[in-house]
Amino acid sequence: MIALLSPAKLMDPSRRHPSTGCTLPAMLRRSEVLIRSLRKLKPADIAELMEVSPRIADETAQWFHDWHTPIDPEASTPAVLLFRGEVYRGLDADSFTPDDLQFAQKHLRILSGLYGVLRPLDLTLPYRLMMGTPFSPDERSRNLYQWWGDDLAQHLAEETRPGDTVVNLASEEYFRAVPEKVLGRRVLTCDFRERKGDRYVSVSTYAKQARGRMARFIITQRITQPEGLLAFREDRYAFQPALSSESKWVFTR
């Protein structure tokens, strides 16, 4: 069983980790192709393409300029520690033990517009490229979904075995890049909802935090079978069988 997370817009490239065992992204050559095209964009182009402020566009252009291979371990950050934001606040990877990190390396993957699929200990350089960005380095593709094609799903299929479950804790924007027919594995999506009056609704900020907490639960409790997720009680959430289906498990509070 592996769990999928989305990356975050907010990153902290200043953070380092003393543990050994860091790795390199498996799809780095594809990242290099993207970077060569992204470097051609001026800050004004980036601001329009990504709908960001001039300050963020300048920062993004600098990141593209500074991005290079081979990745220098002294100037990079393990992926699970690079990303900030609500999901990663829930994950709280800063408090992971070395054994937690090694389990995460086997059972957690982070989808990325630039890197494709990341393991937690893959060394990364900061960037900004959301999967939904209407950008492609070639004329045959209109966006990143078309450019990545079936590659992410095929990569995940190679990292798992028939009969394994992929626990989808990623956003719709990112999981859309993993065609389930190509993946060929059982996909179990976890949905987190809040009680509002007489109904349950999804609140984006809380749902993101909960996805991170579920990933943390999987890692710290060494969950390797989907049935283990039913014991999730973090932050007052509980499994709701009446609202769930075979492919979507709903947790409410």
pLDDT digits (tens, 9 = 90+) for 128-141: 999 999 999 998 99
User: In 3D, which of 112, 55, 56, 57 has the Cα closest to residue 80?
Assistant: 112
Burial 215-241 (b: 16+ CB within 10 A, else e): bbbbbbeebeebeebeebebeebebee
- Structure-token match 């380095």, residue found: 137
Instruction: Classify residue 45: in a domain, yes or no.
Output: no
Instruction: Classify residue 231: in a domain, yes or no.
Output: yes
Instruction: Tell how strand 248-252 and strand 186-196 pair up.
Output: parallel
Burial (CB count within 10 angstroms: exposed 0-12, middle 13-18, buried 19+), residue 24: middle
Structural domain for 183, as ranges: 2-10+77-252
Cβ-based neighbour number of residue 52 at 10 Å: 17
**Separation CA 88–CA 252 (nearest Å):** 20
Instruction: Classify residue 125: in a domain, yes or no.
Output: yes
E strand or H helix at 103: helix 98-107
pLDDT per residue as tens digits for the range 28-52: 999 999 999 999 999 999 999 999 9
Instruction: Classify residue 140: in a domain, yes or no.
Output: yes
* Overall domain count for the chain: 1
Mean pLDDT of the chain: 96
Residue type, 221: Q
User: In 3D, which of 133, 131, 132, 181 has the Cα closest to residue 156?
Assistant: 181
Instruction: Write down the pTM of the prediction.
Output: 0.96
Termini Cα distance of the chain: 26
Instruction: Classify residue 90: in a domain, yes or no.
Output: yes
The whole-number average pLDDT for the span 17-28 is 84
For 221, the token pair is 């409790």
Instruction: Classify residue 157: in a domain, yes or no.
Output: yes
What pLDDT was estimated at residue 234?
Answer: 95
pLDDT per residue as tens digits for the range 67-93: 999 998 888 999 999 999 999 999 999
Of the pLDDT bands very low, low, confident and very high (cuts 50, 70, 90), residue 21 is confident
What pLDDT was estimated at residue 18?
Answer: 59
Residue 19 has pLDDT above 70, yes or no: no
Instruction: Classify residue 138: in a domain, yes or no.
Output: yes
Residue 208 has pLDDT above 90, yes or no: yes
The answer to whether 217 and 223 have CB atoms below 8 angstroms apart is yes
The whole-number average pLDDT for the span 160-178 is 97
Instruction: Classify residue 144: in a domain, yes or no.
Output: yes
pLDDT per residue as tens digits for the range 47-61: 999 999 999 999 999
